[in-house]
């Protein structure tokens, strides 16, 4: 989704803005632009396409002198991705300029009203409404104009704003779209996400909903919607700039795949103390945990897939019924919730619009909520009653890998915690689970050793038309994620099927040479899935299998096998997903795809 940066300080703004926008590229975009306030007023340059175009047009920002400005990468929602619709957007006399992330839901109504008052629009965007509305309300006081538009505008927004009458001041405001403020030496910054400011500072303020920030070179002041000053405390970001850089890898995705052993260990180790699961941030007493009769796990995309796995884990270990929902469905389906329900929202970014709406729906019904979130200080982390952080560090590649893996770990820990409190596992069993959990980081490392074998195999499938994934139980959940990883970055059509469903229609898709990837990590289901492999193979499919070490039997029915180390049946997803991530990565790489920034996708889906 769109990325916003802003700077006011003692240095040239444009190179800082471009640099910040490069750090936000991962969010996905189709055009970019910057506005810089220099001696001749506010100058805007914008262009469709990659940031490189804007970079070249402005000679790395040199052509735009001035020490304050705002910048934007646009992911088109209203109006085609072209130069005109790219941000920033001016008011008529070019005295107010705006960048925006989010959607102004009542923009048509506002546009009509403004047109009736003589305002003319040159773009198809909802954002231009904000520039003209600010103009309409502006009487010399930026704060008052901003506060007034906040009362009029419906929807979500993070805005960066410059006023020609107020040199040396950058304004920012947000509602339901992320925006942070960085306090740096010699200047201050705004951005949609932390990586954009890390080069200059680790001291960051999270702007809350309906708060306004006013930045000058040396000061940062926050206000509420009534223009009353607010006190806020900065957060020190623990990770440094190298965490948000490629460090010699060709793509962030591969780097992040390789960071998984560490990310898993960071998420796991602090929560195991003296042989027990201790989740310090969990503000639920043992009694409260015992009272829970039903859990809803709600998320989108890959995070949803971890939820599908966790249903088996929670139900198996803690004996609590679990429903798993896509957030975009949950929010509109009137779920039956009561005081004995726990709603768990899983989100890497903590800003996904549907997941946030699902969280708010649950809260509005007085239901206890818990977020499993990677981005510290994000909306879901702040609004959920409880939050468990996944310590994956910054995830830049659009296709998630290490955040997915750490979500699984957080969910295993939570399921075991429930099991511990509710007495559904014995001390001896708990010891075994913990021993096996602790082995996962090394076992992931070991599984990564299959890299070359998988790359070679992947190269045979660069021209594939369809690739299917099959499995049962947790293996079906793993298949769903394996299939998504492949299709989202390689653009090869792929689907995952519960293996038992093949006969009910989908087996007709199998043709001579179709690749079917079978996942077999659940011992009690081996034979069943192997029968399905025989069925597709006898119809011409080529079968790749991912299974546990020791299940040599599978070689009789598979053409290519990847073995993963033995672990507890509930934790196999953490290992089996590794070869599937590598497979998707190498197919996409071989096809020459932009692995980190797949077409049409955004890292943080902040609009519905």
- Active-site residues, by number, are 2, 603
| Least distance between ligand F6R and beta carbon 214 (Å) | 30
In the block, residue with structure tokens 């270990």: 317
Q: Any bridge partners for residue 3, and if so which? A: 73
Residue 159 CA from chain centroid, whole number: 20
Q: How many residues belong to the site for ligand F6R (CB under 6 A)?
A: 15
DSSP characters over 432-450: HHHHHHHHHHHHHHHHHTT
C-alpha distances in Å from residue 438, one per residue of 268, 277, 423, 425, 435: 8, 12, 21, 18, 5
Q: With binding defined as CB under 6 A, does residue 347 bind ligand F6R?
A: yes
**3-class DSSP state for residue 36?**
strand
Residues within window 67-106 making contact with ligand F6R, judged by CB under 6 A: none
The correct pick among 74, 605, 606, 607 for binding ligand F6R (CB under 6 A) is 605
Classify strands 276-277 and 272-273 as parallel, antiparallel or unpaired.
antiparallel
| Least distance between ligand F6R and beta carbon 302 (Å) | 3
C-alpha distances in Å from residue 575, one per residue of 252, 269, 436, 440, 580: 20, 18, 12, 8, 10
Closest CA to 509 of 547, 464, 478, 472: 464
| Least distance between ligand F6R and beta carbon 407 (Å) | 8
Whether the link from the prior residue into 12 is cis, omega within 30° of 0, is no
**Which CB atom, from 27 or from 214, has the smaller least distance to ligand F6R?**
27
The correct pick among 24, 282, 399, 413 for binding ligand F6R (CB under 6 A) is 399
Contact 458, 592 (CB under 8 A): no
Burial of 501 (0-12, 13-18, 19+ CB in 10 A): middle
User: Site map for ligand F6R, 302-341, x if CB under 6 A?
Assistant: xx--------------------------------------
Kindly indicate which of the ranges 9-17, 349-357, 532-540, 570-578 contains the residues binding ligand F6R, using the contact rule CB under 6 A.
Answer: 349-357
Alpha-carbon span 303 to 200, nearest angstrom: 31
| Least distance between ligand F6R and beta carbon 66 (Å) | 35
Q: With binding defined as CB under 6 A, does residue 356 bind ligand F6R?
A: no
**Which CB atom, from 169 or from 325, has the smaller least distance to ligand F6R?**
325
Phi (first) and psi of residue 156, to 5 degrees: -120, 145
**Which CB atom, from 98 or from 158, has the smaller least distance to ligand F6R?**
158
Q: With binding defined as CB under 6 A, does residue 201 bind ligand F6R?
A: no
Phi (first) and psi of residue 357, to 5 degrees: -65, -40
Closest CA to 78 of 52, 116, 110, 113: 110
**Which CB atom, from 390 or from 567, has the smaller least distance to ligand F6R?**
390
Q: With binding defined as CB under 6 A, does residue 31 bind ligand F6R?
A: no
Kindly indicate which of the ranges 91-99, 307-315, 344-352, 458-466 contains the residues binding ligand F6R, using the contact rule CB under 6 A.
Answer: 344-352
Residue 572 CA from chain centroid, whole number: 23
The closest residue (CB) to ligand F6R is: 301
Residues within window 479-508 making contact with ligand F6R, judged by CB under 6 A: 484, 488
User: Site map for ligand F6R, 272-301, x if CB under 6 A?
Assistant: ----------------------------xx
**Which CB atom, from 136 or from 491, has the smaller least distance to ligand F6R?**
491
Contact 573, 448 (CB under 8 A): no
Q: With binding defined as CB under 6 A, does residue 192 bind ligand F6R?
A: no
The correct pick among 91, 260, 390, 400 for binding ligand F6R (CB under 6 A) is 400
**Which CB atom, from 554 or from 602, has the smaller least distance to ligand F6R?**
602
**Which CB atom, from 174 or from 305, has the smaller least distance to ligand F6R?**
305
Q: With binding defined as CB under 6 A, does residue 595 bind ligand F6R?
A: no
Angle between helices 142-152 and 127-137 (to 10 degrees): 130
| Least distance between ligand F6R and beta carbon 327 (Å) | 8
| Least distance between ligand F6R and beta carbon 605 (Å) | 5
Q: With binding defined as CB under 6 A, does residue 606 bind ligand F6R?
A: no
| Least distance between ligand F6R and beta carbon 598 (Å) | 9
Taking the CB of residue 341, how many other CB atoms lie within 10 A of it? 20
Q: At a CB cut-off of 8 Å and minimum separation 6, what does 219 contact? A: 188
Alpha-carbon span 87 to 73, nearest angstrom: 8
Taking the CB of residue 123, how many other CB atoms lie within 10 A of it? 18
- Interface residue list for ligand F6R (CB under 6 A): 300-303, 347-349, 352, 355, 399-400, 484, 488, 604-605
């Amino acid at each position: 989704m769109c990325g916003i940066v802003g700077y006011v300080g003692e240095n040239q703004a444009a190179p800082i803005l471009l640099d910040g926008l490069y750090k936000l590229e991962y969010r996905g975009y189709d055009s970019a632009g910057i506005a810089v306030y220099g001696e001749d007023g506010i100058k805007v340059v914008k262009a469709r396409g990659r940031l490189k175009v804007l970079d070249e047009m402005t000679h790395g920002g040199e052509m735009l002198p001035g020490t304050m400005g705002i910048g934007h990468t646009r992911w088109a929602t209203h109006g085609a991705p072209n130069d005109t619709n790219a941000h920033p957007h001016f008011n008529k006399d070019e005295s107010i300029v705006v960048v925006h992330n989010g959607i102004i839901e009542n923009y048509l109504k506002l546009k009509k009203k403004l047109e009736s008052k003589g305002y003319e629009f040159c773009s198809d965007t909802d954002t231009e409404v904000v520039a003209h509305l600010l103009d309409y309300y502006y009487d010399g006081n930026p704060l008052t104009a901003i506060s007034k538009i906040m009362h009029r505008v419906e929807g979500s927004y993070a805005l960066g704003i410059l006023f020609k009458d107020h040199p040396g001041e950058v304004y920012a405001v947000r509602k339901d779209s992320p925006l942070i403020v960085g306090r740096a030496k010699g200047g201050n910054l705004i951005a949609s996400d932390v990586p954009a400011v890390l080069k200059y500072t680790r001291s960051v303020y999270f702007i809350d909903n309906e708060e306004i920030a006013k930045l000058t070179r040396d000061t940062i002041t926050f206000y509420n919607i009534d223009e009353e000053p607010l006190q806020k405390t900065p957060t020190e970001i623990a990770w440094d700039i190298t965490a948000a850089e490629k460090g010699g890898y060709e793509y962030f995705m591969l780097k992040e795949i390789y960071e998984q052993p560490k990310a898993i260990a960071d998420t796991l180790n602090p929560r195991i103390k003296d042989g027990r699961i201790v989740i310090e941030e969990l503000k639920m007493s043992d009694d409260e945990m015992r009272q829970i009769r039903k859990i809803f796990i709600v998320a989108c995309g890959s995070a949803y897939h971890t939820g599908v796995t966790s249903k088996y884990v929670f139900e198996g270990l803690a004996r609590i019924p679990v429903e798993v929902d896509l957030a975009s469905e949950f929010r509109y389906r009137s779920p039956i919730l009561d005081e004995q329900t726990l709603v768990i929202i899983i989100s890497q970014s903590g800003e996904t619009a549907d997941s946030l709406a699902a969280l708010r729906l649950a809260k509005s019904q007085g239901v206890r909520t818990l977020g499993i979130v990677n981005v510290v200080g994000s909306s879901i982390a702040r609004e959920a009653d409880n939050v468990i952080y996944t310590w994956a560090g910054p995830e830049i590649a659009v296709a998630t890998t290490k955040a997915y893996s750490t979500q699984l770990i957080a969910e295993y820990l939570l399921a075991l915690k429930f099991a511990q409190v509710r007495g559904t596992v014995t001390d001896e069993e708990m010891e075994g689970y913990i021993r096996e959990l602790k082995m996962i980081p090394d076992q992931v490392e070991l599984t990564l050793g299959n890299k070359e074998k998988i790359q070679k195999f992947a190269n045979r499938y660069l021209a594939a038309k369809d690739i299917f994934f099959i499995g049962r139980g947790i293996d079906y959940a793993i298949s769903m994620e394996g299939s998504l990883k492949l299709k989202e970055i390689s653009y090869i059509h792929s689907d995952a099927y519960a293996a038992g469903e093949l006969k009910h229609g989908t087996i007709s898709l199998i043709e001579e040479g179709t690749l079917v990837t079978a996942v077999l990590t659940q011992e009690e289901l081996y034979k069943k899935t192997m029968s399905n492999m025989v069925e597709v193979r006898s119809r011409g499919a080529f079968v790749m299998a991912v299974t546990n070490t020791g299940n040599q039997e599978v070689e009789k029915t598979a053409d290519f096998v990847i073995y993963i180390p033995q672990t507890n049946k509930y934790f196999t997803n953490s290992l089996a997903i590794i070869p599937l991530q590598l497979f998707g990565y190498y197919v996409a790489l071989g096809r020459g795809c932009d692995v980190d920034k797949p077409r049409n996708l955004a890292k943080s889906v902040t609009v519905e």
